């Protein structure tokens, strides 16, 4: 009896959810599928260029809602593989054309449309079965309770049972009870199967996953090479800077020890030189540590670290930060040095006299844009500063977009998927 109660407690909510979701499936998916086809068909006429981004965004919102329900109701996790829009997408009609192009190039868009067709057909059937198996038995019980009399002059079929008498009415009730027991066991699996079917249509293909794995493998190798190069830089800076000063200071102290009684005046001069060398060595060590991981980044987070970085720029800088928490330390470090490289490039190569930095987090993405009013013409090439930023972000599955027309302005946009805590 306890097992039946447990099945009842899980089957009834599953049936209710399937009942509600069936309307969303048949109405929402069918409507969006028709609107998507019409919008795509009208692209050659120009109208579709305006309507397609809006319709496809609605499709994505519809699919994301289904992803959320799949995870919360049935523990079926469906990845969200949409490519992010570059931050520099223009506004107006030209921007709509660019958005339409980007959406149509994204394989996830076509998977969404395929899912809409599947959802309003096979997906809808699974949802209907999930709640009908629990509701249909009620009719069998009502027939046995006396409703069969309405069909004395004709035969009414309840499933495969012809109902025309009390005996056949009881047979209908027995069939209804059997169907109800099937529903107790099948409603929750049918709802889960609906979400599994959605996952089969919405999830990335193996080829896309392989491409992503190849990209992550390449960025991992680049990260290892970058780390090795950074270690060599630190060793070189220590050898040529602080270490050389400390060795010289040790030699001066040895000379001072020999002169302190014979020539106190000369010893005093050498002491002053040793003090200066120690201060310079300490400054170089601080600069070296700041280059590895700035103290302000560790203590106050990315926003304040970027503001401090902008204050050290030789040109006027404006920083806007909207962060509701802190990202993981490796992500903050990558973002900080990416911003540092972008600002340095703007000052060195763009001839800019004003910089703007915007840092915010939305939709699971840390988005940073660095804009300057320089001469433009910046490109991402291997071995360049922007190429280094792209490799650094790629380690975290991040992306870099650069808009730099001749004559400027230049906007460097960086996106890193992460959560804030």
**172-222: pLDDT as tens digits:** 888 888 888 888 888 899 999 999 999 988 887 776 666 666 666 665 655
In sequence order, what are the residues at sequence separation of 6 or more whose Cβ sits closer than 8 angstroms to the Cβ of residue 274? 249, 252, 253, 256
Cα(394)–Cα(416) distance, rounded to whole angstroms?
Answer: 9
CA distances from 29 to 61, 149, 332 (A): 11, 42, 40
Instruction: For residues 135 and 129, give the distance between their C-alpha atoms in angstroms, rounded to a whole number.
Output: 10
**Tokens found for residue 225:** 């090479």
pLDDT score of 215: 61
Q: Tokens 């069936």 label which residue?
A: 22
User: Under a CB-based contact definition with an 8 Å cutoff, are residues 320 and 339 in contact?
Assistant: no
Strand partners, 317: 355
pLDDT band, residue 125 (cuts 50/70/90): very high
Can you give the pTM of this predicted structure? 0.52
Lowest mean pLDDT: which of 154-163, 224-233, 316-325, 350-359? 224-233
φ/ψ (deg, to 5) at 249: -65, -40
- Which residues partner with 322 through β-bridges? 360
Q: Residue 227 has what pLDDT?
A: 57
What does the pLDDT average to over 144-167?
A: 76
Look at phi and psi of residue 146 and say left if phi exceeds 0, alpha if psi is from -120 to 50, else beta.
Answer: left
Please choose, from the candidates 206, 202, 183, the residue with its C-alpha nearest in 3D space to the C-alpha of residue 80.
Answer: 202
* Strands 399-403 vs 354-362: parallel, antiparallel or unpaired: unpaired
76: Cα separation from own chain's centroid: 18
For residue 177, the model assigns a pLDDT of 86
Burial 293-309 (b: 16+ CB within 10 A, else e): ebebbeeebbbebbbbb
pLDDT category, 31, cuts 50, 70, 90?
very high
pLDDT digits (tens, 9 = 90+) for 68-112: 888 888 888 888 777 776 655 555 556 677 788 888 888 889 999
User: What average pLDDT does range 17-27 have in this prediction?
Assistant: 90
Whether residue 415 contacts residue 392, with contact meaning beta carbons closer than 8 Å, is answered with: no
| 103: nearest Cα among 33, 49, 34 | 49
Considering only residues 219 and 12, tell me which one the structure prediction assigns the higher pLDDT: 12
Kindly tell me if the per-residue pLDDT of 377 is higher than 90.
Answer: no
CB 234 within 8 A of CB 292: yes
Which helix (H) or strand (E) segment holds residue 287: the answer is helix 264-292
What does the alpha-carbon distance between residue 340 and residue 306 come to, in Å, rounded to a whole number?
Answer: 8
Q: What pLDDT score was predicted for residue 230? A: 58
Whether domain 299-417 has CATH 3.30.565.10: yes
């Amino acid at each position: 009896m306890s097992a039946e109660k447990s099945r009842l407690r899980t089957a009834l909510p599953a049936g209710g959810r399937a009942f509600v979701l069936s309307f969303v499936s048949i109405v929402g998916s069918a409507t969006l599928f028709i609107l998507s086809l019409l919008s795509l068909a009208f692209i050659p006429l120009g109208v579709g260029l305006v309507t397609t981004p809006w319709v496809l965004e609605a499709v994505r919102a519809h699919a994301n809602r289904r992803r959320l329900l799949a995870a919360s109701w049935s523990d079926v996790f469906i990845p969200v593989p949409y490519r992010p829009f570059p931050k520099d997408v223009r506004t107006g009609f030209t921007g709509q054309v660019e958005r339409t192009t980007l959406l149509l190039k994204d394989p996830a868009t076509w998977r969404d449309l395929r899912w809409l067709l599947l959802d309003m057909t096979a997906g809808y059937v699974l949802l209907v079965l999930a709640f009908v198996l629990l509701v249909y038995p009620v009719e069998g019980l009502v027939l046995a309770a006396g409703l069969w009399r309405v069909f004395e002059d004709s035969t009414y079929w309840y499933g495969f049972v012809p109902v025309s008498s009390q005996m056949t009415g009881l047979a209908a009730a027995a069939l209804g009870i059997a169907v109800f027991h099937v529903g107790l066991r099948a409603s929750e699996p049918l709802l889960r199967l609906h979400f599994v079917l959605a996952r089969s249509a919405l999830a990335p293909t193996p080829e896309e996953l392989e491409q992503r794995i190849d990209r992550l493998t390449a960025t991992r190798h680049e990260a290892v090479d970058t780390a090795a190069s950074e270690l060599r830089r630190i060793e070189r800076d220590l050898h040529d800077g602080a270490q050389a000063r400390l060795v010289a200071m040790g030699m001066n102290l040895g000379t001072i020890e020999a002169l302190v009684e014979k020539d106190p005046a000369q010893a005093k001069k050498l002491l002053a030189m040793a003090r200066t060398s120690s201060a310079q060595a300490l400054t170089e060590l601080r600069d070296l540590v700041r280059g590895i991981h700035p103290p302000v980044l560790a203590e106050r987070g990315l926003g304040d670290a970027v503001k401090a970085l902008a204050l050290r720029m030789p040109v006027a800088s404006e920083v806007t930060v909207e962060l509701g928490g802190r990202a993981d330390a490796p992500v903050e470090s990558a973002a900080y040095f990416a911003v540092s490289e972008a600002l340095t490039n703007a000052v060195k190569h763009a001839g800019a006299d004003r910089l703007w930095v915007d840092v915010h987090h939305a939709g699971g993405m840390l988005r940073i844009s660095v804009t300057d009013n320089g001469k433009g013409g910046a490109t991402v090439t291997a071995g360049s500063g922007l190429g280094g930023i792209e490799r650094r972000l790629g380690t975290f599955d991040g992306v870099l977009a650069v808009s730099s027309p001749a004559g400027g302005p230049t906007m460097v946009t960086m996106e890193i998927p992460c959560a804030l805590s």
